Amino acid sequence: MTQSFSQLQLHPHLAQAVAEMGYESMTPIQAQAIPVVLQGRDVMGAAQTGTGKTAAFSLPLLQRMMAHENASTSPARHPVRALVLLPTRELADQVAQQVKLYAKHTKLRSAVVFGGMDMKPQTAELKAGVEVLIATPGRLLDHIEAKTAVLNQVEYVVLDEADRMLDIGFLPDLQRILSYLPKKRTTLLFSATFSPEIKRLAASYLQDPVTIEVARSNATASTVEQHFFSVQTDDKRAALKQIVRQRGIGQAFVFVNSKLGCARLARSLDREGLKTTALHGDKSQDERLKALDAFKKGEVDLLVCTDVAARGLDIKDVPAVFNFDVPFNAEDYVHRIGRTGRAGASGLAVSFVASSDARLVADIEKLIRNKIEIEPFELEDNRGGERRERLNDGSRLYRDEDRGSRRPERSERAERTSAPRPAPKPVDPFFDRPYEPNPQAPEQPAWESSAKVPSRVSANIKTKRKVAALFKATD
Ligand code: AMP
């Protein structure tokens, strides 16, 4: 049964924003969570990204805060009342953009703070007063330390993507932040899965929460066509290109397990003529936002990324996801393929399974409660011009008409128009050199390295203290 937003009786300014977003009815998580949050109950929600969970917590919080809405210029009249914590900068940015849209007709203010960006503009915004603060834990602790974030009037806390925050090692930071907050508050926790650690976190910080589960937490969308191909490591790149070409795939996410592999793969695919960019923690914040933007605008075909970098990103209609590496953590498989086949659209998820990946595949099998059939993959033999694509069962994986409608890849187009074949490009030794991280990037990018420094407040604090001591600066 579809449920309309009108039955919520949202403040007209919020209702107007929702209407402008073009939302016709509530998503299941919204239909279940919004009334509960409006009543002031704590919530433990199992919801994957793409389910509309940002609106599910933002709208009722904004609605409740409308009682405090005012146009005063005094910062004291705009204390932080709602705090939303997220594991990565991109997610924080994404949620902040949505909150701004929902609150745009109100006088409630919101701000986002995350690492990798200059503290000063964030400080100025915080000092002017904001009712909704969206933050990653490390940078928030910097602001708490600098006394620019004062949290003693917080009434609502959202721990979003809580499982990922724990995976990254943010638990000590979270515990510290939560210790600064008033005991009397509403706490909402969202997580893709309810692991024992998440349950423990909820037991410590939530009071009598209402549990809301919109889909089996380990479910993979039925609209996603999943294939596991047996491909040796050295053949993975050729296999990926072959599938992209044969399927006429316009855009895809390509997941790898390491930052190093991510950068190298993106570089070689790009060099081979596929418009590719990489998203990983050694890139500067600015580079990452640009990469995402280029992908969203369709200027880039393949986004090669690590799990942490891509987690929860709201990029719609990605036709395909490649697991270039089988994820170490089975839950990441669910998150990765959740990037495709969203909102009823069909999607393709292809995993390349090397001989050493048997245990990882078995873990995925257990998690998704489905038998995984590992299919042989035959690389086409371009030299003989013969395509060999027969599967074990004799059926053809890719039909000829698929090939007819595909968009030829650029390198192929170039080949067709240029006979005789150009001499192969000399191999640039740059690509054979070991990967070297970007010297501009922070030494320890908070979002990927914080797992290694869980007990420190954040990568920024020590440095800041040293610098502050040297220059006698306060900020
Ligand atoms: P989220 O899971 O919060 O990241 O939301 C995923 C996407 O769904 C966002 O682009 C939202 O704008 C969109 N969305 C949220 N709620 C609705 C709704 N009720 N109807 C249609 N789209 C929605």
40 close to 125: Cβ distance less than 8 angstroms: no
Residue scoring higher pLDDT (102 or 316): 102
Max mean pLDDT among 64-68, 318-322, 424-428 falls in 64-68
Does 135 have pLDDT greater than 90?
A: yes
80 close to 133: Cβ distance less than 8 angstroms: yes
Ligand 1 geometric centre to CA of 58 (Å): 12
Does 286 have pLDDT greater than 90?
A: no
Report the atom number in ligand 1 closest to the C-alpha of 94. 4
| Any atom of ligand 1 within 6 Å of the Cβ of 26 | yes
Report the atom number in ligand 1 closest to the C-alpha of 314. 4
pLDDT of 271 = 93
Residue scoring higher pLDDT (337 or 401): 337
| Any atom of ligand 1 within 6 Å of the Cβ of 58 | no
Q: What is the pLDDT of residues 228-272, one digit of tens each?
A: 999 999 999 999 999 999 988 989 999 999 988 999 999 999 999
Residue scoring higher pLDDT (468 or 273): 273
The arithmetic mean of pLDDT across residues 9-19, rounded, is 96
Residue scoring higher pLDDT (278 or 103): 103
| Any atom of ligand 1 within 6 Å of the Cβ of 84 | no
| Any atom of ligand 1 within 6 Å of the Cβ of 48 | no
Residues of the chain with CATH 3.40.50.300: 5-213, 224-406
| Any atom of ligand 1 within 6 Å of the Cβ of 53 | yes
The arithmetic mean of pLDDT across residues 163-187, rounded, is 94
277 close to 303: Cβ distance less than 8 angstroms: yes
| Any atom of ligand 1 within 6 Å of the Cβ of 235 | no
What are the structure tokens assigned to 47, written together?
């919801």
The arithmetic mean of pLDDT across residues 367-386, rounded, is 75
| Any atom of ligand 1 within 6 Å of the Cβ of 49 | yes
Range with lowest mean pLDDT among 151-155, 177-181, 425-429 = 425-429
Residue nearest to atom 1 of ligand 1 (CA): 52
Q: Cα–Cα distance between 172 and 121 in angstroms, integer?
A: 27
Share of the chain above pLDDT 90, in %: 54
The arithmetic mean of pLDDT across residues 328-344, rounded, is 78
Q: Cα–Cα distance between 29 and 212 in angstroms, integer?
A: 8
pLDDT of 312 = 63
pLDDT of 403 = 29
Q: Cα–Cα distance between 161 and 86 in angstroms, integer?
A: 6
Average per-residue pLDDT in the chain? 79
Does 381 have pLDDT greater than 70?
A: no
The arithmetic mean of pLDDT across residues 13-17, rounded, is 97
Q: What is the pLDDT of residues 289-309, one digit of tens each?
A: 788 888 888 899 999 998 877
| Any atom of ligand 1 within 6 Å of the Cβ of 314 | yes
Q: Cα–Cα distance between 390 and 392 in angstroms, integer?
A: 7
| pTM (whole model) above 0.75 | no
Ligand 1 geometric centre to CA of 69 (Å): 25
CATH of domain 224-406: 3.40.50.300
Ligand 1 geometric centre to CA of 338 (Å): 14
Give which of 159, 354, 163 is closest to 257, Cα–Cα.
354
Does 395 have pLDDT greater than 70?
A: no
Residue nearest to atom 22 of ligand 1 (CA): 23
pLDDT of 140 = 98
- Which fold is adopted by the domain 5-213? Rossmann fold (3.40.50)
Q: What is the pLDDT of residues 42-96, one digit of tens each?
A: 999 988 777 889 999 999 999 999 999 999 999 999 999 999 999 988 899 999 9
* φ and ψ at residue 323, rounded to 5 degrees: -95, 90
Does 217 have pLDDT greater than 70?
A: no
pLDDT of 384 = 39
Q: How many CA atoms lie within 13 A of 200 on its CB side?
A: 7
137 close to 177: Cβ distance less than 8 angstroms: yes
Confidence band of 382 (pLDDT split at 50, 70, 90):
low
pLDDT of 1 = 55
Ligand 1 geometric centre to CA of 55 (Å): 7
